Amino acid sequence: RRRATLPHTEGTFPNIVAAHLAPTMSRRGQISIDRIVALRSSVLPLYVIVQPDGVVTAADEVSEDGNDFLTTRLHGDQISFQSIRGHYLSAQGDEVCTRQYCSADERFFVERLDTQYAFRSRSGKYLSIIDRAPFVCLSAAPGETEMFQLFSLMMSGVNVGKQLDLLERNGHVQIDGVLEEQQLAALRADVAGLGGTDTTRIHEVRCAGLVGKSAGLAELAAHPLVMQLALRSISPMLRLSDVESCCTNADHVRKELEATTWHVVHPYSSVAFPGVVDSRISFTANWFLDPLDEANSTWAWIKAPFTDGVHSPKLPQLSSPEEVEAVVKGAVPLTAPCGSVWLYTGAVWMSNNVGAASFWKDYDAQTRYKHLSGQKEQTQTSFRALTDAQRTAPARQELCPTVLQATYVREYVSTRNPLAPPAPLLASLPDATRRDLERLTAAAA
């Protein structure tokens, strides 16, 4: 793996930036620590590293892909550290190791001195780094080698830990400026070449199973920023379910459709009544290849309410028209600049045809107003001629935005499109991307 040395002050690298985290105090007086950090000894140029197989060691660098950073979780006045592959740092048996679960030995009490931290196990011993094997161990008393500095993970110009915190608190987060124009142009060309942008006389065109269609689409499915958030928030064994494009003709929606419909992603869309008793079995990344604004967006969303108040999300296809109407009253219009990504967990009701028939509703209202106010049209056009003209008019590209949706599911859920990318395409990808895709599509291989 390519590795990057993180200095004690802010440092910049090709893919990640590690910034020294200044400690803050929460309202309850507890120490607030970023959600994704690298642990570095305050006196030795070494970091605590949890390898993919769960072995704990130390190194003078961290990997540029961000996978050496640890996810923090607070448990009252204690903290746990979990690797991106699911291993929890543990002090079981007074030895530093890892476990696949988080219990008393995997939680450490936090002690702070200025900008440095010490982590005390339940036995009273402190996490320590030394300059010889086993490198990471426990010490009976706190000293210089038991003090750590913390570094935050930065990718695409954002603090990834803060995005993880927002995602887990709100269930969704939008990150702007992730894709550059060159990437966007290539992705638009890929989708167009597959017929995914021809919305002539239809309100939408969708293309599924795109992960194996081009290198750009495959790389998007394993985007480093999305992988950091998906694997840390849902499951380290997450699987890619599908990559689908959707180009919506907003003009057609407003003039030709008669009703608004709502849907959810797989697997919520594929179950029978009463649905799924799990609100966090999927992770969805919506990539905006075009700007979505008030003029061209017929998209809206609302987080699925729970039928039992806690776990089982209500699903549109398993709800009566009256129930659907009640839920979508709180729907939020979806807008986003191009190049941004909107991430959410679990079931979210989505629609890309909000405002169906709104053109004719406005037209009727204007016609009635003109009639009642005595206004007359200079040219008389029949209603049939007007509707024929609207129906045969060519699609206006500025009103046809494209969204790419990558969905991921828990390891025990069947995927929507279980086809792995072909071997020649995988071989053409960068090593880190290829490894991630192989893990994401392992069940399909």
DSSP symbol at 140: S
Q: What is the pTM of this model?
A: 0.88
Handedness of CA 181, 187, 193, 196 (dihedral sign): negative
Per the CB < 8 A criterion, the answer to whether 185 and 216 are in contact is no
Per the CB < 8 A criterion, the answer to whether 163 and 173 are in contact is yes
CA-CA distance, 196 to 194, in Å (whole number)?
Answer: 5
69 residue type, one letter: F
Closest CA to 143 of 130, 157, 162, 156: 130
Task: List the chain pLDDT tens, one digit each, 445 residues.
Answer: 545 555 433 333 334 545 545 344 344 456 689 999 999 999 999 999 999 999 999 999 999 999 999 999 999 999 999 999 999 999 999 999 999 999 999 999 999 888 899 999 999 999 999 999 999 999 999 999 999 999 999 998 899 999 999 999 999 999 999 999 999 999 999 999 999 999 888 999 999 999 999 999 999 999 999 999 999 999 999 999 999 999 999 999 999 898 999 999 999 999 999 898 888 999 999 999 999 999 999 999 999 999 987 789 999 999 999 999 999 999 999 999 999 999 999 999 999 999 987 755 654 444 544 444 555 554 555 545 545 555 556 668 899 999 999 999 999 999 999 888 999 999 999 999 999 999 999 865 4
φ, ψ of residue 226 in degrees (nearest 5): -65, -40
